[in-house]
Amino acid sequence: MFKYPTPKQVVWFSVLAISAFLLLVLGLVKMFLLREFPFYLVFIVPVILAIPSYYTISYSLDRFIYRRIKVIYNGTYL
């Protein structure tokens, strides 16, 4: 049976997708454009940016879900 992902799973998937995309872009920049670009930055920058993106996406998703559930409860309570 199909199970819906939890909000935390959605947040983790989003952060991993953003980090993987950034890793790919930085790797391509390193390979084709900037050969003097330090190799360790290709791996450190996505990790450093994953931390604030996790909290930003988590906060945004929690606020979105809270607003939607609040509207549903207000509609059924009256």
Identify the pLDDT of residue 69: 79
Type of residue found at 28:
L
Compute CA distances 46 → 15, 35, 37, 38, whole Å: 10, 19, 15, 14
Question: Does this model's pTM top 0.85?
Answer: no
Provide block-wise average pLDDT over 10 residues at a time, the chain (78 residues). 83 95 90 80 89 95 85 64
Q: Which residue ranges make up each domain of the chain?
A: 7-77
Identify the pLDDT of residue 74: 67
Compute CA distances 11 → 46, 51, 59, 78, whole Å: 16, 11, 10, 33
Task: Please choose, from the candidates 19, 20, 13, 11, the residue with its C-alpha nearest in 3D space to the C-alpha of residue 50.
Answer: 19
